[in-house]
Amino acid sequence: MAAPLTFSQRWLPVATVLLAVLALWYAGAIGLNRAGAVERVLPNSHPNGDWTVSDLVSVTLNMERPVLPAPHQVAADLYSSTVDWPLDSPRNLLFHAAVTAQSTLVGFVLGTLLGVVLAAAIVHSRTLDRALLPWIVASQTVPVLAIAPIVLVILGSLGFSGVAPKATIAMYLCFFPVTVAMVQGLRAPQRIETELMHTYAASKLQAFWLLRLPSALPYLFPSLRVAIAAGLVGAMVAELPTGAQAGLGARLLTGSYYGNTVGIWSALVLSALLGLALTLAVAALERLVLRRGNAA
Amino acid sequence: MTFARDASTPAAKAVFALIASLSLAAAFWWLVGTAQQQADFQPMPLVAPLLAVLFIAGLSVRRLAALDGRPWYATATAALFGLWVLYFWQVGVTLFNVPRVLLPAPSWIGQMLIDRWDTLAGDWVQTVAKAVLVGWALGSGLGFAVGVAIDRAPFLQRGLLPLASLTSTVPLVAVAPIMVMWFGFEWPSKAAVVVLMTFFPMLVATLAGLQAAGRLELELMKTYAAGYARTLRDLRLPMAMPFIFSALKVNATLALIGAIVAEFFGSPTVGLGFRISTEAARMNMGLVWGAIVVAAVTGSVAYALLVQLERRVAFWHPSVRSK
For chain B, positions 149-168, list CB contacts with chain A under 8 A: 155-160, 162-163, 166, 168
Query: Do B53 and B162 belong together in one domain?
Result: no
* Least CB–CB distance from A154: residue in B77, B80, B102: B102
Coil vs helix vs strand at B239: helix
Q: Which among B251, B254, B292 is positioned nearest to B275, based on CA atoms? A: B292
In a domain, B107, yes or no: no
In a domain, B197, yes or no: yes
Query: Do B91 and B209 belong together in one domain?
Result: no
**Per-residue pLDDT at B1:** 46
> What's the CATH number where B267 sits?
1.10.3720.10
In a domain, B317, yes or no: yes
* Least CB–CB distance from A127: residue in B61, B159, B257: B61
Mean pLDDT, range B55-67, rounded to an integer: 86
Q: Where are the beta strands (DSSP E) in B109-225?
A: none
Give the minimum alpha-carbon distance from B31 to chain A in angstroms, rounded to a whole number: 28
Query: Would you kindly state where each structural domain of chain A is located, as residue ranges?
Result: 7-68, 93-295
Query: Do B92 and B134 belong together in one domain?
Result: no
Query: Do B223 and B296 belong together in one domain?
Result: yes
In a domain, B106, yes or no: no
Query: Do B168 and B223 belong together in one domain?
Result: yes
Q: Which residues of A touch B80 (CB under 8 A)?
A: 131
In a domain, B108, yes or no: no
**Per-residue pLDDT at A296:** 47
Query: Do B122 and B192 belong together in one domain?
Result: yes
Please say which residue of B43, B66, B98 terminates a domain.
B98
Please say which residue of B48, B70, B98 terminates a domain.
B98
Query: Do B8 and B131 belong together in one domain?
Result: no
Boundaries of domain holding B140: 114-321
A199 at B interface, C-beta within 8 A? no
Query: Do B158 and B217 belong together in one domain?
Result: yes
Q: Rounded to two decimals, what is the model's pTM?
A: 0.86
**Per-residue pLDDT at A3:** 62
- CA dihedral (A209, A211, A214, A215) in degrees, to 10, reads -150
Q: A233 and B276: CB-CB below 8 Å?
A: no
Looking at CATH, the fold of the domain delimited by A93-295 is given as: MetI-like fold (1.10.3720)
- CA dihedral (A18, A23, A26, A27) in degrees, to 10, reads -140
Q: What is the pLDDT of residues B8-33, one digit of tens each?
A: 788 888 888 888 888 888 888 888 88
Cβ–Cβ < 8 Å for B173, B163: no
Query: Do B23 and B155 belong together in one domain?
Result: no
**Per-residue pLDDT at A224:** 92
Query: Do B19 and B78 belong together in one domain?
Result: yes
In the predicted model, is pLDDT for residue A295 greater than 60?
no
For residue B74, name the pLDDT band (cuts at 50, 70, 90).
confident
Query: Do B16 and B152 belong together in one domain?
Result: no
For residue B146, name the pLDDT band (cuts at 50, 70, 90).
very high
Please say which residue of B73, B98, B123 terminates a domain.
B98
User: What secondary structure letter does DSSP report for A40?
Assistant: I
In a domain, B314, yes or no: yes
In a domain, B129, yes or no: yes
Query: Do B196 and B118 belong together in one domain?
Result: yes
Q: Say how far apart CA A171 and CA A176 lie, in whole Å.
A: 9
Name which of A137, A139, A145, A240 to mutate to probe chain B: the one with the most chain B Cβ atoms within 10 A of its Cβ.
A145
A249 at B interface, C-beta within 8 A? yes
* Least CB–CB distance from A276: residue in B158, B169, B272: B169
Mean per-residue pLDDT of chain A: 85
Q: What is the pLDDT of residues A59-71, one digit of tens each?
A: 888 877 788 888 8
